[in-house]
Chain A
Amino acid sequence: MSVFRVEDLAVSFGPAGRRARVVDGVSFSVDRGETLGLVGESGCGKSVTLLSSVRLQPSPPSHVERGSAWLGDTDLMKLDAKALRALWGSRIGVVFQDPMTSLNPVFTIGQQLRETLAVHTRLSAAEREERVIAMLDRVGINAPQRRLRQYPHELSGGLRQRVLIAMALLLHPELLLADEPTTALDVTLQAQILALLRELRDELGMGIVFVTHDLGGRRNIKNRVAVMYAGRIVESARVADLFRAPRHPYTGALLASTPTLDSPKDQPLATIEGMVPAPAQRGPGCTFAPRCARAGERCRAEAPALIPDGDRAVACFHPLS
């Protein structure tokens, strides 16, 4: 059963008449206890997709042209600001990329965590304190009482990121959105945070949607991946299937160009020629066609739809076998 379902989302930026569409007809869904990774290179529209889907992308300058986003049977696109504020932090938890800028530097960790509970619940002060300490403990923070009295700058990057995760999870949301939550962290910390998210997901039965630029990473936590290119999802599949047999030529090229422990040293890495087209330069066809060795006449004229096939889907007229 899906916790969150986005249908045909299109988002553009800029003033009317000169709008550039950066997300073009994106659909996905995530089930309870499932993780979906939105993967792509910078500028592919993955963060805009994530934030727009829960109306956290500031508008203007962004503009949702069409689409719906269902949290249970509520379409978030139809809600007013007050109704959205009631959902953010309670049924929807969000963890942003940079733990330094997402915490308020002039309040202690305790003040910020208690505030979340004060806004969304009728718990007493003592109950709030208890809940906050339990959650900090849950995300692996030692001596939580001491941390509550500290300011964000007194904590390391790993601890700050854990505080943000604790804050996002305080009200046991159904849906957790995370925008590159580990990019700013070192590899060993990344592994710790991802293990923590996976544990909490299973325990609380959340759905997680995760944005990352790193196709190789995070394979431990994602159940499914949707690969984005130039504003569209070009392929989605279970993680293992995607790595074993990518179907979209872009996914294949991306995997081939990533150095791994198994890359032969005497051979050059595969590269993708050319550059991602800017939003204004995207033609009617497949957005990858100008860089694709397999592209034909039809690819340049017509955009392929994302066609499901079992539990995976690909948007390509000439997929890899």
Chain B
Amino acid sequence: MSDAPLLEVDSLVKDFPVRGGRGVLHAVNTVSFRQRRGETLGVVGESGCGKSTLGRTVLQLLKPTSGSVRLLGRELTILPAEPLRQMRRHMQMIFQDPYSSLDPRMTVAALIAEPLLIHGIGTPAERDAEVGRLLDTVGLPAEAARRHPHEFSGGQRQRICIARALALHPEFIVADEPVSALDVSIQAQILNLLNALKRDRGLTYLFISHNLAVVKYVADTVAVMYLGRIVEMGAAEDLYADPKHPYTRTLISAIPRMAPGTGALESPPAGDLPNPESPPGGCTFHPRCPHAMEKCRTTPPALTARGGTGTPHAVACHLHD
């Protein structure tokens, strides 16, 4: 890991108009973080917390409402279409559902070569050779090239998606729930593959998942999102050993333990996620928080560093004021 950040995200906001035209939904609300080369940032949170929108907005697949995204030192949010297209070589995405993210009419070879074709890289023979190398990299046999996606299982399809994402030799990959749709025994194979690729190619992942055990296994740093905001962020070992935000403590205690008798940190929070179109005032977690104080109802807490080894361990919670 070098110290120069590969990715710098500052005060990123993504709003969506609310149906009926009244007001906006802050899907991503003033999010800032940095990623060094080779560092995996895990983003966790429940559905609707904005973690997928964050990934897509960082990649400029969704246009940010405001804020800054710098990849390799270049500001992406102000780039016109053509230079942005050129930058896409450096940043790719792996999706959750390997069934709907591959065109069923294309062969595997055509699917993997498509990014090269779009960017005008190589001759047909060179692209064929590259497809062969990529298939080998992701653990698929060479003859897979001639077949169609429906002939493959879910885990094999995800390998095809990974090969496609690797075709342009990107430095940065957003992986949005890449193993959630797969069976347990297949999840392990894909996680091992992603880890090996990180090691061999120096990849930097933004790894989005609702599964905290999976994130602990793959991530160097972890950000916990709730209603569009990062409520806690730090080195994975710090955050799991000493979760500071009541919401993080809840999420961790909801993880099934293999070792029997491990006590729960917190009971599950009461109630559902509030309607994100009209989030509660103050700290947005206060209606579900067992420790909520008067201040939490009125003043939104800022994300503030509270210790941490190396990477600062930051939390947005008045309990730590």
Contact surface of A with B, Cβ cutoff 8 Å: 41-42, 156, 158-159, 186-192, 195, 213-220, 239-240, 243-244, 253-255, 257-263, 265, 268-272, 275
A-B contacts, CB under 8 A, total: 104
Contact check: which of B217, B257, B269 meets A259 at CB < 8 Å?
B217
Cβ A188 vs Cβ B214 within 8 A: no
Contact surface of B with A, Cβ cutoff 8 Å: 46-47, 153, 183-185, 187-189, 191-192, 195-196, 210-214, 216-218, 240, 250-252, 254-260, 268-269, 272-273
> For the complex, what is the distance from the CA of A192 to the CA of B240, rounded to whole Å?
22
Cβ B260 vs Cβ A244 within 8 A: yes
Most chain-B Cβ atoms within 10 A of its Cβ — which of A192, A218, A220?
A192
> For the complex, what is the distance from the CA of A215 to the CA of B217, rounded to whole Å?
18
Cβ B256 vs Cβ A218 within 8 A: yes
Cβ B46 vs Cβ A272 within 8 A: no
Contacts of A189 in B (CB 8 A): 268, 272
By DSSP majority rule, is chain A's interface helix, strand, loop, or mixed? loop
Q: How far is the CB of A49 from chain B (nearest CB, A)?
A: 17
Contact check: which of A156, A213, A216, A270 meets B258 at CB < 8 Å?
A216
Contact check: which of B153, B184, B251, B272 meets A214 at CB < 8 Å?
B184
Contacts of A158 in B (CB 8 A): 272
Contacts of B47 in A (CB 8 A): 186
- 20 intermolecular pairs with C-beta atoms under 8 Å apart: A41-B185, A156-B273, A158-B272, A187-B210, A188-B251, A188-B268, A188-B269, A217-B256, A219-B260, A244-B260, A254-B184, A255-B258, A258-B258, A259-B213, A260-B213, A265-B216, A269-B188, A269-B191, A271-B185, A271-B188
> For the complex, what is the distance from the CA of A216 to the CA of B212, rounded to whole Å?
13
Contact check: which of B46, B184, B211 meets A41 at CB < 8 Å?
B184
Cβ B255 vs Cβ A187 within 8 A: yes
> For the complex, what is the distance from the CA of A239 to the CA of B260, rounded to whole Å?
9
Cβ B216 vs Cβ A188 within 8 A: no
> For the complex, what is the distance from the CA of A271 to the CA of B193, rounded to whole Å?
11
Given A259-B191, A269-B191, also A213-B255 (CB < 8 A): no
Cβ B254 vs Cβ A271 within 8 A: no
* Other A-B pairs beyond A214-B256, A216-B256, A275-B153, 14, CB < 8 Å: A41-B185, A156-B272, A187-B210, A195-B268, A213-B183, A213-B184, A214-B184, A216-B213, A240-B260, A243-B258, A259-B217, A263-B216, A265-B217, A265-B218
Closest 8 pairs between A and B when the two form their complex, measured CB to CB: A191-B268, A257-B188, A269-B188, A186-B46, A41-B183, A259-B217, A272-B185, A216-B256
